[in-house]
Amino acid sequence: MDSFEKEINSTFLKLNIPFVDYGLTTSDSISLESIFRNPKFQNLSQNKSPLFRMASMTKPLTAYLTLALLDDYRIDLHESVGNYLPEINKLKIAYKEGETINYKKNDVPISFHHLLSCTSGNAYEHHDPLVSELVSKKKVAPMKNGDDAFLKAPLVFTPGSQWGYGISYGWLGKAIEAISGLTLDENLKKYLCNPLGLKQTSFDPEHSSKEILAPVYFRDAEGSYSDISTKITLGFNPFHYGGGGITSTLSDYLKILQFFLKVMKSDREDSTVSYMFRNQIGNLAITPLKSFNKNLALDYDINPDIEMRWGYGLILNKEPIPKRREAGSGSWAGVLNTYFWIDYRNDIAGVFLTQILPCYTPSLLKGFEYFEELSYKFLVKS
């Protein structure tokens, strides 16, 4: 793997990426765990196991926790979440007439399936114009406050009518707690951390863990970086957010992906994990992610030339992505430019971890995509 690491590190350097922890796994073994540190950033730690704020790479874990819990309690995926969280029934649908935001009653009960498949009508303030406007007018609490008040944001479409990326996994986390009587972190330990031997994955990390947290950089339009670590509370908020609250390491996250690969390789069609890799939205379209906060995320059209669908916690490519993953693979990202993919047909999964805003910065996307291409060149196609 020396030539692989030499080539990818050279690419990261040319792209002026400050740092990346990256790794590859098969269902049988961890193939690669490596780090890149740009010498231009002299204050960077050479620590091989820093803690990363995983942001939305939390979603596949929360999806798995939800499915495992529903199975244990014999709860149907299409049952109303309101049976366990009555407050979710109070959410109205917001819509705009001219310059006025109006509200109407939601007559479609929100199910676990709706929340898992991102068809519940929930939206993110940085991806939806209506919720963004409500936050700017202080009629809806922003996520940056660190509590769960933002979950009271209205729906922006009728549940089941379309796909829309949003805060639905926050509601799933609260439902998990309500059903089990345990915290989200305790469920994480029960269903994933303890069985897989994960030592540094948590919704509630020790305060001392801040000492090994990777720094967060902001990249401006000119390509200059500034350290904004002190402004970021993600991963240490009092509310355990099921859509993005986990901190973890490269080693731990590779073990999670390896577990998913093992289950999918076993061909158990009734397995909990298999639901994550099935198209759960039918013919609903995966729409481009428009940004209404360019400091947080840029506009992103997800593989525009490839037909995409959503499973549970993962986006699925219905067609092969040239030089990269096979059809049916799952992937997703976190707002701090963390990325992963799981290609069970080729028995390979990869993780790319950095901590840089805004999300979907072209140089970071290019670095991840080349890392994936090189992985297939060295490990799969050869």
Q: What is the mean pLDDT of each run of 10 residues along the chain (382 residues)?
A: 90 97 96 94 79 97 98 97 98 95 97 98 97 96 94 98 98 98 98 96 86 93 93 88 96 98 82 94 95 95 93 97 96 98 97 97 97 92 55
CATH code for the domain of 35: 3.40.710.10
- The phi and psi torsions of 83 (rounded to 5 degrees) equal -65, -20
Rounded to whole angstroms, the Cα distance separating 292 from 365 reads 19
Contact 296, 359 (CB under 8 A): yes
Domain residues for 169? Answer: 2-380
What is the Cα–Cα distance from 336 to 344, expressed in whole angstroms? 25
What value, to the nearest 5°, has the Cα angle with vertex 97 and ends 96 and 103?
A: 50
Is 318 within 8 Å of 308 (Cβ atoms)? Answer: yes
pLDDT of residue 211: 84
pLDDT at 46: 73
Instruction: Return the DSSP state at 128.
Output: -
Encoding tokens for residue 305? 């030339």
Q: State the pTM of this model.
A: 0.96
What is the C-alpha to C-alpha distance for residues 310 and 318, in angstroms, rounded to an integer?
10
Give the pLDDT confidence score for residue 234 in this predicted structure. Answer: 85
Q: What pLDDT, on a 0 to 100 scale, did the predictor assign at position 236?
A: 86
Provide the number of structural domains found in the chain: 1
Residue 252: what are its φ and ψ, rounded to 5°?
A: -65, -45
